[in-house]
């Protein structure tokens, strides 16, 4: 999805990371999309959750609240698969789809090395799928401003 994504175009002058994400959400909304999620690296998400106001209060909820990761009313997906210092905002309904190229295939065998003698089996499960980025304008990806 990232290679096909649209670049963030709201500028970065005098903005924080929270501002940047809000403007990316707005960029999708202006394009008649319905933003449905934000993807961040776990370290970037941690940095956002540790932001405090001038009185030392956390901006994104109290640590003991145990709330679901969320920004601007959208779920946040912290994943190490996202590049540190980058963000992705998308309309998951219109961005693309998963094409199932082959049904799931599960095979079981005792004929691997000495599995029969050791009373063991080998299980191979595979499925062929492809992620199709059908509408790149429904995905915004760029550098997270700090």
Q: How far is CA 5 from CA 41, 88, 111, 116, 135, in A?
A: 17, 9, 46, 50, 9
Q: Which domains can be identified in the chain, with CATH numbers? A: 2-96+134-143 (3.30.2320.10)
pTM here is: 0.76
pLDDT for the residue 12: 63
pLDDT for the residue 146: 59
Q: Which band of pLDDT confidence, cut at 50, 70 and 90, is reported for residue 121?
A: very high
Convert the pLDDT of each residue in 57-90 to its tens digit. 888 877 777 778 889 889 999 999 999 999 999 9
Position of tokens 């956002």?
A: 48
Task: Tell me what the mean pLDDT of segment 140-145 comes to.
Answer: 84
């Amino acid at each position: 999805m990232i290679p096909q994504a649209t670049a963030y175009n709201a500028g970065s002058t005098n903005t924080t990371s929270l501002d940047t994400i809000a403007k990316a959400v707005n960029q999708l909304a202006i394009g008649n999309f319905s933003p449905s999620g934000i993807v961040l690296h776990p370290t970037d998400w941690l940095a956002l959750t540790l932001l405090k106001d001038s009185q030392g209060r956390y901006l994104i909820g109290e640590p003991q609240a145990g709330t679901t990761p969320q920004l601007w009313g959208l779920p946040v997906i912290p994943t190490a698969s996202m590049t540190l210092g980058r963000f992705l905002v998308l309309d998951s309904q219109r961005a693309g789809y998963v094409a199932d190229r082959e049904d799931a295939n599960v095979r079981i065998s005792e004929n691997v090395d000495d599995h029969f003698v050791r009373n063991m089996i080998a299980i191979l499960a595979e499925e062929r799928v492809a992620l199709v980025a059908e509408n790149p304008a429904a995905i915004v990806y760029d550098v997270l401003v700090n």
